[in-house]
Amino acid sequence: MRYAMAVDTLRCVGCSDCVVACQTENDVPIGHCRDWIVEKTTGTYPELQLEIRSERCNHCANAPCVRTCPTEASHYAEGGIVLVEESECIGCKACITSCPYDARFIHPEGYVDKCTFCIHRVEKGQNPACVSVCPTHAMIFGDLDDPNSDISRAMATRKWKSLIPEAGTDPKVFYLI
């Protein structure tokens, strides 16, 4: 089991529904976010290119946050999902500085918080909240080890990229381009 997510940049319109769904589902404290929208414009007017991405923790297979955590609070859960165990986190912030995507933040209660791929929903066979609400069906979640899963099919038939693969993190969130 290797959970992964693919975001179709040709479908994403940047409506932020995924961000709101995450905040509601996971009770993310006001002023913080576990997922966010990046709009990247390249070129000089009128020759412009626009890419819109819904971003979050990349649930890296070689996660620097897990490596640098001194207490095993940051760990790999089933399917390679990277999680933080609140009661083991001391708030040293080594994981935050080690993340090239800046995907983690300090919860107002002191521990470090981030996207969980909605593991509590995934365990029940549901999609993460952001994927379920996406109005353009731009996001796909599933198991890379299953060749017939939607995500494996999409990755096999579409061009895709991941973010800063040169950082050596082996990210598990992909962007269809």
Among residues 25, 64, 115, 121, the one that binds another protein under rule CB under 8 A: 64
**What is the number of residues in the chain?**
177
Could you give the count of Cα atoms lying within 13 Å of 29 in the half-sphere of its Cβ?
Answer: 11
Among residues 71, 126, 135, 136, the one that binds another protein under rule CB under 8 A: 71
Verify cis geometry, omega within 30 degrees of 0, for the bond prior to 128: no
Question: Given the complex with another protein, which of 40 and 120 has the nearer CB atom?
Answer: 40
Of the candidates 23, 32, 155, the one whose C-alpha atom is nearest the C-alpha of residue 105 is 32
| Closest separation in Å from C-beta 38 to another protein | 5
Among residues 78, 90, 120, 177, the one that binds another protein under rule CB under 8 A: 90
| Closest separation in Å from C-beta 30 to another protein | 11
Question: Given the complex with another protein, which of 25 and 35 has the nearer CB atom?
Answer: 35
Residues 26 and 116 sit within 8 Å (Cβ to Cβ): yes
The one segment of 2-10, 84-92, 117-125, 148-156 that binds another protein by CB under 8 A:
84-92
Question: Given the complex with another protein, which of 154 and 163 has the nearer CB atom?
Answer: 163
Verify cis geometry, omega within 30 degrees of 0, for the bond prior to 46: yes
Question: Given the complex with another protein, which of 40 and 145 has the nearer CB atom?
Answer: 40
Residues 3 and 143 sit within 8 Å (Cβ to Cβ): yes
Q: Is 104 in the site for another protein (CB under 8 A)?
A: yes
Residues 13 and 136 sit within 8 Å (Cβ to Cβ): yes
- Report helix, strand or coil for 100: coil
Q: Is 120 in the site for another protein (CB under 8 A)?
A: no
Alpha-carbon gap, residue 48 to 52, rounded angstroms? 13
Contacting positions for another protein (CB under 8 A): 16, 19, 31-33, 36-44, 55, 64, 67-73, 86-94, 96-100, 102, 104-106, 109-112, 163-164, 166-168
